[in-house]
A and B are shown apart, each in its own frame.
Chain A
Amino acid sequence: MDSKAIKIAANNVQVYYADTHAIKDVNVEIEDKTVTAFIGPSGCGKSTFLRCLNRMNDTIDICRVEGDILLDGEDIYDKRVDPVQLRAKVGMVFQKPNPFPKSIYDNVAYGPRIHGLAKNKAELDDIVEKSLRRGAIWDEVKDRLDAPGTGLSGGQQQRLCIARAVATEPEVLLMDEPCSALDPIATAQVEELIDELRSRYSVVIVTHSMQQAARVSQKTAFFHLGNLVEFGETGQIFTNPEDPRTESYITGRIG
């Protein structure tokens, strides 16, 4: 695989929840236009690390982050960085589908509206349509854009949330176990979608399912007890891991 530009670089990242050292000395480089999967047993810190990448951890009072996380060479924890602006660039999809209790249209239009991405209604309509198409849900909802987003099925809701996340034209898309609440069919749809999104965004996905990581990602990072144990090409991690802990995990002996 040819090497791509580095989108996000994390150097010596430490995360503390009060006195708990949750992330220990993580160094990782996330490439542009690549799907990077974070795998590891529960509580290993993969979600915590993911939430550092768009500073969602700021909302937790006791959480403290040390080290540098560079997005395009700029430290996102710099004092000059406004997390709100950062989150427009680094979108996020959550574990549980969480559409706003508003219409499908408003769900997608909300981000562009608050960021002033559309000059008029027609442009906004365009953005909504484009985002819903990218979320691979347009055909299912185009006739009922005024229906509440909460009325969709779980898989549709999650794709709506992805459409909502891409509507603000982010550069990186973070996904925190996006399929854990979905059935296998919806999961397959979302995975297919993730593969398509790779052409435009750098996607980081946290997953509990190793099969999923193997299916959708090009790079995989294995976390264990707050350490980044191994990071490399997905194929290599799953076929020929260097670290014995990685091997134990992917063969099902720990986790």
Chain B
Amino acid sequence: MTDMSQIPGAAPTAKPKGGSLFEKDARTKRRNAAESRFKMYGIAAIGIGLLMLIVLVTNIVTAGTGAFQQTYLELDVDLKADKLDKKGNRNIEDIKKVSTFGYAPLISAALESEVKKLGIQTDLKPKAMGKILSKAAQAELRNYVLANPDEIGKTVSFRFLTNSRVDGYMKGRVSRESIANDKSISVEQLDFVDQLRDAGVLYKAFNPDFIFGADASDQRPEAAGIGVSMLGSLFMMFVVLALALPIGVAASIYLEEFAPQNRLTDIIEVNISNLAAVPSIVFGILGLAVFINYMHLPTSAPLVGGLVLTLMTLPTIIISTRASLKAVPPSIRDAALGVGASKMQAVFHHVLPLAAPGILTGTIIGLAQALGETAPLLLIGMVGFIASNPPDGIVAGFLSPNSAMPAQIYEWSKRADPAFYERAWGGIIILLIFLVTMNTIAVLLRRRFERRW
């Protein structure tokens, strides 16, 4: 433009009025400053959130990974026939008569011979040596013998769990100083553990029993696993899915597509939103009152847990389903009605398929919420139950007492032995893996099936 003005005869350029565009006036500067300040607040907020998340995840991972490893001691046990099967006829009923207590001498004999073989010098008495093993070792041995009675009389190599103190020592949680007042382990025993470790028979290894195994009593934290309560959660989720999805979707379709707009439906609508905000423990006490005290359904059963969680999940599913039904453009309904479809055909042929990804996402997120819910389970007795045996069969899975993952975590976190603390963190890792997986599936489903019009 500047050279234009140099052309003779061309019209002169007008002077800018009220200041040049190249200079910001005070008002613009203030506005720009306010905007960049606001952006900074936003970035700071996100930064704080991310930092918290990183701290949380590192914390969980560092505290919880220990639970996936366990200290084992390898021993060759001589399954002496004269001890285990006195009559010598390999009758399983006779073998069962030998209690876990009867297996203890076999283990300490095996430990003694191992010590001799490795040439370890120790002042410990055989009984004190045996103390480094878990109380679960004898039961493990007995179960093995009952399952394989033919092995009696042979020498079999076993990998026994060690005591939680020994395990803690191997993981750095327990030290010689910290056990000063501890009656269950002594400095000599730790020295003995060191010797065994150096000999290579005592080592840390991945512990599948933590993921797949059952919970154990207070005395044996090293044997506790989350597997059975995982099954409990699974059965609860079956109940929730089977009830909450059809009821929720049916209710939403009716409310969104068929119900007249009047005061009654308004009240229902407001109350569904209110229900979503009701503290979960309230649903727990409702479940206790209705399902257990009034209907006499079994206490601690995943069926009851599932029913309570269904009540809790329903509003979530209804709200998300209605939102996704609303998001389907009305022109699609008009189009269907215009060619003579009935209202139901319009809904089921056109609206519902378009809303399905949203409904599925809402359902999965509702399920994930239910999966992590602890408070209602407190009241129906799924907490504090020792899930020591997996349910036998599908019916038992629903009806026999069990725990659930978050309840199991809560249960571990309140037990006294610090070894359980580690397991609680480990359980949280497993629970989080489930939740993250479910949410990822929800996101992927939404991405995959989302339609544009």
- Interface on A for B, CB 8 Å cutoff? 54, 56, 59, 61, 84-85, 87-88, 91-94, 96, 98-101, 110-111, 114-115, 150, 161, 164-165, 167-168
Q: A59-B333, A98-B334, A101-B451 known; 17 other A-B pairs, CB under 8 Å?
A: A56-B337, A61-B260, A61-B261, A84-B340, A84-B342, A87-B339, A87-B340, A88-B340, A91-B338, A94-B338, A100-B335, A100-B350, A101-B354, A110-B339, A111-B341, A114-B349, A168-B339
Enumerate chain B residues within 8 angstroms of A98, measured Cβ to Cβ.
329, 331-332, 334-335
Enumerate chain B residues within 8 angstroms of A167, measured Cβ to Cβ.
339
| Residues B340 and A59 in contact, CB atoms below 8 Å apart | no
Q: Does B438 contact A (CB under 8 A)?
A: no
How many angstroms from the CA of A161 to the CA of B338 in the assembled complex? 10
B117 to chain A, nearest CB (A): 75
| Other-chain residue from B261, B339, B453 in contact with A164 (beta carbon distance below 8 A) | B339
> Which of B261, B335, B340, B354 has the most chain A CB atoms closer than 10 A to its own CB?
B340
B302 to chain A, nearest CB (A): 40
List B53-100 residues whose CB lies under 8 Å from chain A.
none
| Other-chain residue from B261, B329, B340, B350 in contact with A111 (beta carbon distance below 8 A) | B340
Q: Does B271 contact A (CB under 8 A)?
A: no
Enumerate chain B residues within 8 angstroms of A114, measured Cβ to Cβ.
339-341, 345, 349
| Residues B335 and A87 in contact, CB atoms below 8 Å apart | no
| Residues A84 and B453 in contact, CB atoms below 8 Å apart | no
Q: Does B336 contact A (CB under 8 A)?
A: yes
B337 to chain A, nearest CB (A): 6
Known A101-B354, A150-B453: A94·B334 in contact at CB below 8 Å: yes
| Residues A87 and B338 in contact, CB atoms below 8 Å apart | yes
| Residues B337 and A100 in contact, CB atoms below 8 Å apart | no
| Residues B338 and A96 in contact, CB atoms below 8 Å apart | no
Question: At the interface, is chain A mostly helix, strand, loop or mixed?
Answer: helix
Pick 14 A–B contacts, CB within 8 A, sort by A.
A59-B334, A84-B341, A94-B331, A98-B329, A98-B332, A100-B332, A100-B335, A100-B336, A111-B339, A114-B340, A115-B340, A150-B452, A165-B338, A167-B339
**Total residue contacts A-B, CB cutoff 8 A:** 67
- Interface on B for A, CB 8 Å cutoff? 260-261, 329, 331-342, 345, 349-350, 354, 451-453
Residue of A nearest to B345 (CB): A114
Enumerate chain B residues within 8 angstroms of A161, measured Cβ to Cβ.
335
Known A92-B338, A110-B339, A110-B349: A101·B453 in contact at CB below 8 Å: yes
How many angstroms from the CA of A94 to the CA of B335 in the assembled complex? 8
Residue of B nearest to A161 (CB): B335
How many angstroms from the CA of A54 to the CA of B260 in the assembled complex? 21
Enumerate chain B residues within 8 angstroms of A115, measured Cβ to Cβ.
340
How many angstroms from the CA of A100 to the CA of B336 in the assembled complex? 8
Enumerate chain A residues within 8 angstroms of B260, measured Cβ to Cβ.
61
Residue of B nearest to A98 (CB): B331
How many angstroms from the CA of A98 to the CA of B335 in the assembled complex? 6
How many angstroms from the CA of A114 to the CA of B344 in the assembled complex? 12
| Residues B331 and A56 in contact, CB atoms below 8 Å apart | no
| Residues B334 and A56 in contact, CB atoms below 8 Å apart | yes
How many angstroms from the CA of A111 to the CA of B337 in the assembled complex? 10
How many angstroms from the CA of A21 to the CA of B334 in the assembled complex? 24
Enumerate chain A residues within 8 angstroms of B349, measured Cβ to Cβ.
110, 114
Enumerate chain B residues within 8 angstroms of A164, measured Cβ to Cβ.
335, 339
Enumerate chain B residues within 8 angstroms of A101, measured Cβ to Cβ.
332, 354, 451, 453
Enumerate chain B residues within 8 angstroms of A56, measured Cβ to Cβ.
334, 337-338
How many angstroms from the CA of A114 to the CA of B453 in the assembled complex? 24
Enumerate chain A residues within 8 angstroms of B345, measured Cβ to Cβ.
114
Enumerate chain B residues within 8 angstroms of A168, measured Cβ to Cβ.
339-340
> Which of B261, B337, B452 has the most chain A CB atoms closer than 10 A to its own CB?
B337
| Residues B339 and A91 in contact, CB atoms below 8 Å apart | yes
Residue of B nearest to A111 (CB): B339
How many angstroms from the CA of A165 to the CA of B342 in the assembled complex? 15
Enumerate chain B residues within 8 angstroms of A96, measured Cβ to Cβ.
331
Enumerate chain B residues within 8 angstroms of A92, measured Cβ to Cβ.
334, 338
Enumerate chain A residues within 8 angstroms of B340, measured Cβ to Cβ.
84-85, 87-88, 91, 111, 114-115, 168
| Residues A165 and B331 in contact, CB atoms below 8 Å apart | no
Enumerate chain A residues within 8 angstroms of B452, measured Cβ to Cβ.
150
How many angstroms from the CA of A92 to the CA of B335 in the assembled complex? 8
Residue of A nearest to B333 (CB): A59
A249 to chain B, nearest CB (A): 28
Residue of A nearest to B262 (CB): A61
Enumerate chain B residues within 8 angstroms of A99, measured Cβ to Cβ.
335
B301 to chain A, nearest CB (A): 44
A36 to chain B, nearest CB (A): 18
Enumerate chain A residues within 8 angstroms of B354, measured Cβ to Cβ.
101
How many angstroms from the CA of A168 to the CA of B336 in the assembled complex? 12
Enumerate chain A residues within 8 angstroms of B261, measured Cβ to Cβ.
61
B135 to chain A, nearest CB (A): 63
How many angstroms from the CA of A167 to the CA of B340 in the assembled complex? 11
A148 to chain B, nearest CB (A): 9
Enumerate chain A residues within 8 angstroms of B336, measured Cβ to Cβ.
100, 110
How many angstroms from the CA of A78 to the CA of B339 in the assembled complex? 20
| Other-chain residue from B329, B337, B350 in contact with A59 (beta carbon distance below 8 A) | B337
Enumerate chain B residues within 8 angstroms of A100, measured Cβ to Cβ.
332, 335-336, 350
Enumerate chain B residues within 8 angstroms of A150, measured Cβ to Cβ.
452-453
| Residues B453 and A165 in contact, CB atoms below 8 Å apart | no
Enumerate chain B residues within 8 angstroms of A61, measured Cβ to Cβ.
260-261
| Residues A165 and B337 in contact, CB atoms below 8 Å apart | no
Residue of B nearest to A106 (CB): B349
A190 to chain B, nearest CB (A): 17
Residue of B nearest to A88 (CB): B340
Residue of A nearest to B451 (CB): A101
B30 to chain A, nearest CB (A): 43
> Which of A59, A61, A98, A164 has the most chain B CB atoms closer than 10 A to its own CB?
A98
B327 to chain A, nearest CB (A): 13
How many angstroms from the CA of A59 to the CA of B331 in the assembled complex? 12
